């Protein structure tokens, strides 16, 4: 596979987009996460904010403090320092274990997803629980994570019809990714479970607990435990530990 070449693209009057690929891959996501860490550790003068999408880094700057051309030269120099597609993941990450109920009323499409993957529902839950996923990016709603990557068998398409609404905490899957929903919302992904973990909580410390690059694994729990987990606070019984 040919390694893509990073692109430096204008984005509005005060933004630059550093794009590592046009399509999602493990290498492109790693590159985006690592390059953002580089900028946050050694921020160029005049840069106000950085943010990552699945394969890109947004750099917002103050035009009154730095010229676009000068910042682009700085970014280009940083890109040439190393092969960002082989860079390690950012430091300061957290490993999360998040309880979730799968199947039944909390996961009404588990059987359908298992059929698409080609396994029994029980095996689908085992596969998901054994996967150590990475927060690829946050988006769609405050704090909502895109988690990847599941095995290739989980490269299932989105639905052709949109589900009008799934509840907060719904665990949905498609295209080798998993999303626990931050809020009730419509979706084209299939719901296989639900968690009491809150991706965003106004009163949480911090309000958005996950960050891009964090590791996430799901712990299957019985449906009878869901109400109790909802009462344990915004983390919904999740455990966390520092990776590095």
* Whole-angstrom distance, CA of residue 223 vs CA of residue 2: 46
- Full-model pTM: 0.95
CB contact at 8 A, 152 and 176: yes
Tell me the three state secondary structure of residue 109: coil
Intervals of CATH 2.40.100.10 along the chain: 94-242
Question: Would you give the DSSP letter of residue 87?
Answer: P
Neighbours of 65 (CB within 10 A): 12
pLDDT in tens, the chain (244 residues): 567 899 999 999 999 999 999 999 999 999 999 999 999 999 999 999 999 999 999 999 999 999 999 999 999 999 999 999 999 999 999 999 999 999 999 999 999 999 999 999 999 999 999 999 999 999 999 999 999 999 999 999 999 999 999 999 999 999 999 999 999 999 999 999 999 999 999 888 899 999 999 999 999 999 999 999 999 999 999 999 998 6
Tokens representing 85 are 């597609």
On whether the 7-86 domain is CATH 3.30.1360.40, my answer is: yes
Write down the CATH number for the domain with range 94-242. Answer: 2.40.100.10
Intervals of CATH 3.30.1360.40 along the chain: 7-86
């Amino acid at each position: 596979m040919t390694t893509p070449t990073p692109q430096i693209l204008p984005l509005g009057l005060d933004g630059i987009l550093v794009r590592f690929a046009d399509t999602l891959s493990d290498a492109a996501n790693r590159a985006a996460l690592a390059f953002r860490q580089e900028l946050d550790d050694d921020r160029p003068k005049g840069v106000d904010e950085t943010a990552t999408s699945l394969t890109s880094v947004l750099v917002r700057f103050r035009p009154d403090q730095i010229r676009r051309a000068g910042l682009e030269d700085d970014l280009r120099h940083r890109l040439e320092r190393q092969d960002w597609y082989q860079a390690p993941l950012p430091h300061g990450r957290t490993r999360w274990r998040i309880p979730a109920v799968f199947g039944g009323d909390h996961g009404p499409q588990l059987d359908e997803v298992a059929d698409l993957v080609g396994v029994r529902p029980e095996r689908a839950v085992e596969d998901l629980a054994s996967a150590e996923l990475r927060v690829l990016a946050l988006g769609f709603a405050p704090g909502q994570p895109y988690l990847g990557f599941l095995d290739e068998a989980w490269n299932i398409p989105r639905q052709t019809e949109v589900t009008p609404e799934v509840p907060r905490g719904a665990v949905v899957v498609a295209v080798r990714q998993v999303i626990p929903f931050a809020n009730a919302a419509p979706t084209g992904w299939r719901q296989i479970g639900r968690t009491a973990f809150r991706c965003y909580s106004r009163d949480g410390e911090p309000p958005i607990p996950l960050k891009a690059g964090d590791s996430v694994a799901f712990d299957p729990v019985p449906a009878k435990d869901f109400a109790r987990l909802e009462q344990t606070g915004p983390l919904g019984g999740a455990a966390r530990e520092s990776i590095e």
